[in-house]
Structure 1
């Protein structure tokens, strides 16, 4: 029975009913969600059909919860390898092919040996083949123009990017809160 509940992740929304993050999607275990419900820190927005029982009560497991207090999002996203890949759509910025995270590297547009810094404006996602081909040269010297110039994204841009890459598991009760590439009526 416990295995069934392990497959009951809970989508966590901020107080404004937007996911705390899209990539990775803001999920809690059902145990953490139940604890937050009993501590009155969250509102239950939607529930699974599954129930849990205690000696004194039973209730349905939450599938979507919202925080009672708004949690501000970071204005400046962290400069991480994953966030660079997310900014660049998991696409090599030289050949234009999309890759899985484990098949990407990041490349310094101006090589570090030439004073290039490891920062948003000088790092792009690259596949291993293109990274080796470019080597210790600039894109111009290697005759490998960039598909898109690197830029410093804000949190909203990364969140928007994350929405384009849905996770493997999406419960039907989550869809109204995620807006996966859906156009809203005017």
Structure 2
């Protein structure tokens, strides 16, 4: 069973753009150090920020589910925090993995267009390795087993099979690396969409 300290908190930069998630434990450290403030919704489109002191006061008035307790106080678990200083979006490269290629191509064979589960998909080299093709974002596409076998060791023009879209490295998006098994809180919706 996960403790409240391990649940997810949405992290916003100082421009209120989502940049990633962290554990409640990490969010409370940032709050205690003065590097972040808790964001609390007050109605549909109004928000209030709290430093550690005001969050403790607010928590004392509205204790509900998701509480962290110590000997001296009880505090509500924050759902969203905003960083005090950081105003950029971190630019990261998406790691080249089989799963990320499938995500980039929406689990769709790039030759026949069939959308299939992962266990029925394969990776295909647009330019075969035997002909100098590399293992890179720009040369790998998702394919079904039938199309991969039919294309075999041929170039696209030889097999008359062309990818539906030009393969390229995906652009990193905030929350691309959202922690697996985590759940998104309803209070995040206005920041994500």
Match 1:62 to one of 78, 84, 88: 78
What is the CA deviation profile of residues 104-144 of structure 1, one whole-angstrom value per residue up to 9, with x for unaligned ones? Answer: 43221000110112223212122344333322222333343
Identify which range, 167-176 or 104-113, moves more after superposition. Answer: 167-176
Q: 2: CA distance between counterparts of 1:86 and 1:175?
A: 22
Pairwise mapping of residues 61-100 of structure 1 onto structure 2 (< 5 A)? Answer: 61-68=77-84, 69-74=86-91, 77-81=93-97, 82-100=99-117
Distance 2:68 2:143 in 1: 47
- The count of corresponding residues between Structure 1 and Structure 2 is 165
Secondary structure, in 3 states, of the residue corresponding to 1:141? Answer: helix
Would the aligned equivalents of 2:8 and 2:183 in 1 still touch at CA under 8 Å?
Answer: no
Equivalent in 34, 37, 46 of residue 43 of structure 1? 37
Task: Give 1:111's aligned residue.
Answer: 128
TM-score normalised by L of structure 2: 0.69
How far does residue 70 in structure 1 lie from its aligned partner after superposition? Answer: 2.7
Structure 1 residues 19 and 54: alpha-carbon distance in aligned structure 2, compared to 1, 3 A threshold = same
The answer to whether structure 1 residue 8 and structure 2 residue 25 are counterparts is: no
Q: Is the Cα–Cα contact under 8 Å of residues 18 and 174 in structure 2 kept in the other structure? A: no
Of structures 1 and 2, the larger Rg is shown by: 2
Q: Give structure 2 stretches of 5+ with no counterpart.
A: 42-63
Aligned-pair distance for 1:11?
A: 1.6
TM-superposed deviation, 1:66: 2.1
SS at match of 2:159: coil
1:178–1:72 CA distance, 2 compared to 1 (3 A): closer
Aligned mates of 2:145, 2:153 — CA distance in 1: 14
Q: Does 1:148 pair with 2:184?
A: no
Calculate the aligned-residue CA RMSD, in Å: 3.1
Deviation at 1:79, TM superposition (A): 4.9
Change (3 A) 1:103 1:73: farther
User: Normalising by structure 1, what TM-score?
Assistant: 0.71
Deviations 1:70-126 (A, max 9, x none): 34422x624512443333233221222334556543221000110112223212122
**Which of 164, 172, 176 in structure 1 is aligned with 2:190?**
176
CA distance in 1, matches of 2:40, 2:146: 46
